[in-house]
């Protein structure tokens, strides 16, 4: 049965927001009740304490803003250069260097235990939460219940909520005080609950894992996760190069792997136009394929206006990508994100 809901400033019975689905004009309270019952039954079957179950379901709220965010994720329209200017800013680099001097002992512990260099940990920290400056606002129990109700990824978000309840139970955390992004990512490194359940570590030896309030727990958890992904301590992430303007675009998606020598034989060069160094590492190649024609046209226009007899030849800026690059993509499956982590880590170093 579906009920029309009036608009209230406060909360409507089981703390369902009065404005819930106001744009659609209805809210299925039977479905909502069934979801709450299902979560209670699943949590009981997983031996989650009655205290955590009751706290989770005491005053559940449907959050329309969460559903709106899920349905209206912004289309990615930035060029790679624009994205890097935004994510690898001078301010973020400076802050990363400050954090390196602020937490030398902790970063050393992470590096020694998990083999992940401190500049890499700092780069992830900067990318994920701007070194903890970005505070997530959504109460995760309500965010997950709202997403479960919406139904687009009901099973996934049900698993996340149960995992969150287990985390709260095991670590004696007040579950309704745990906040994160609308999609459920939380803490300094934006772990979702199932990832935290698998890789979370007690970094400050207080007997619990709290990646929101403990930087030690957050860093050790990030180091453990990257270690389990196979991180190689001495291996680079990216190597910036130039390509001829007529280079085969189909080779620039990171899927084709060759040695430095093989890439060099195809015309790939260092940024200053010299030969690539000798390196037998097998690497991929990534460039902003979508905007290459526009970039080449811009360079050509610039060259034509230069007051010189020998104008520079247009080139494509690209990145050779080491295996660590692809380990980053297991954290966040975005080539541009992985490039940004690599750039930020190099500049913090």
- Say if 334 falls within a structural domain: no
pLDDT for 162 beyond 90: yes
> What is the domain range of residue 268?
238-321
pLDDT for 24 beyond 60: no
Measured CA to CA, the distance from residue 345 to residue 124 in angstroms comes to: 8
Lowest average pLDDT, out of 46-60, 148-162, 282-296, goes to 282-296
Lowest average pLDDT, out of 154-158, 214-218, 275-279, goes to 275-279
Q: Are 311 and 304 in contact (CB under 8 A)?
A: yes
- Say if 77 falls within a structural domain: no
DSSP string, 190-219: TB-HHHHHHH---SSSSSS--TTT-HHHHH
Q: 14 falls in which pLDDT band (50, 70, 90)?
A: very low
What's the total number of domains in the chain? 1
Q: 10 falls in which pLDDT band (50, 70, 90)?
A: very low
Each residue of 144-162: b (16+ CB within 10 Å) or e?
Answer: bbbbbbbeeeeeebbbbbb
- Say if 255 falls within a structural domain: yes
As a whole number, mean pLDDT of residues 28-49 equals 97
Share of the chain above pLDDT 70, in %: 88
- Say if 253 falls within a structural domain: yes
**Which 3-state string (H, E, C) describes 278-340?**
CCCCEEEEEECHHHHHHHHHHHHHHHHHCCCCCCCCCEEEEEEECHHHHHHHHHCCCHHHHHH
- Say if 244 falls within a structural domain: yes
Work out the mean pLDDT of the chain and round it to a whole number: 89
| Segment 294-325, tens digit of pLDDT | 877 776 655 555 555 555 677 899 999 999 99
| Segment 135-144, tens digit of pLDDT | 888 999 999 9
Measured CA to CA, the distance from residue 94 to residue 348 in angstroms comes to: 8
Measured CA to CA, the distance from residue 285 to residue 319 in angstroms comes to: 6
Q: Given this model, what pLDDT does residue 73 score?
A: 72
Q: Are 183 and 199 in contact (CB under 8 A)?
A: no
As a whole number, mean pLDDT of residues 239-254 equals 95
- Say if 248 falls within a structural domain: yes
What is the distance, to the nearest Å, from the Cα of residue 186 to the centroid of all Cα atoms in its chain? 11
Q: Given this model, what pLDDT does residue 74 score?
A: 63
- Say if 7 falls within a structural domain: no
Q: Given this model, what pLDDT does residue 36 score?
A: 97
- This model's pTM is above 0.85: yes
pLDDT for 340 beyond 80: yes
Q: Given this model, what pLDDT does residue 314 score?
A: 76
| Segment 68-112, tens digit of pLDDT | 988 877 666 789 999 999 999 999 999 999 999 999 999 999 999
pLDDT for 262 beyond 90: yes
């Amino acid at each position: 049965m579906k009920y029309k809901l009036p608009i209230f400033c406060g909360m409507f019975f089981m703390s369902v927001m009065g404005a819930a689905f106001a744009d659609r004009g209805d809210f299925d309270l039977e479905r909502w009740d069934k979801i709450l019952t299902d979560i209670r039954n699943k949590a009981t079957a997983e031996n989650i304490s009655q205290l955590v179950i009751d706290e989770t379901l005491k005053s559940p709220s449907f959050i329309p803003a969460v559903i709106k965010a899920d349905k209206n994720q912004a289309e990615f329209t930035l060029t790679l250069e624009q994205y890097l200017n935004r994510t690898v800013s001078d301010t973020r680099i400076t802050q990363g260097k400050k954090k390196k001097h602020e937490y030398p002992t902790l970063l050393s512990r992470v590096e020694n235990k998990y083999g992940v260099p401190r500049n890499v940990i700092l780069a992830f920290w900067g990318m994920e939460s701007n070194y903890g400056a970005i505070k997530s606002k959504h109460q995760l129990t309500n965010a997950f219940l709202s997403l479960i109700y919406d139904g687009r990824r009901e099973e996934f978000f049900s698993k996340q909520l149960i995992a969150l309840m287990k985390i709260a139970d095991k670590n004696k955390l007040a579950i309704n005080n745990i906040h994160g992004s609308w999609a459920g990512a939380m803490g300094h490194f934006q772990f979702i609950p199932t990832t935290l359940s698998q890789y979370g570590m007690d970094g400050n030896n207080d007997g619990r894992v709290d990646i929101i309030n403990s930087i030690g727990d957050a860093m050790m958890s990030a180091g453990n996760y990257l270690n389990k992904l196979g991180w190689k301590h001495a291996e680079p992430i990216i190597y910036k190069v130039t390509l001829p303007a007529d280079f085969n675009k189909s080779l620039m998606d990171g899927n084709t792997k060759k040695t430095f020598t093989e890439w060099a034989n195809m015309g790939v060069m260092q940024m200053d136009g010299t030969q690539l160094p000798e390196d037998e590492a097998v690497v991929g190649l990534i460039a902003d394929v979508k905007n290459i024609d526009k970039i080449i046209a811009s360079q050509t226009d610039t060259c034509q206006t230069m007051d010189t007899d020998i104008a520079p030849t247009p080139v494509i800026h690209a990145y050779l990508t080491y295996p660590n690059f692809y380990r980053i993509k297991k954290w966040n499956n975005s080539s541009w994100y992985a490039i940004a982590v690599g750039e930020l880590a190099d500049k913090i170093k």
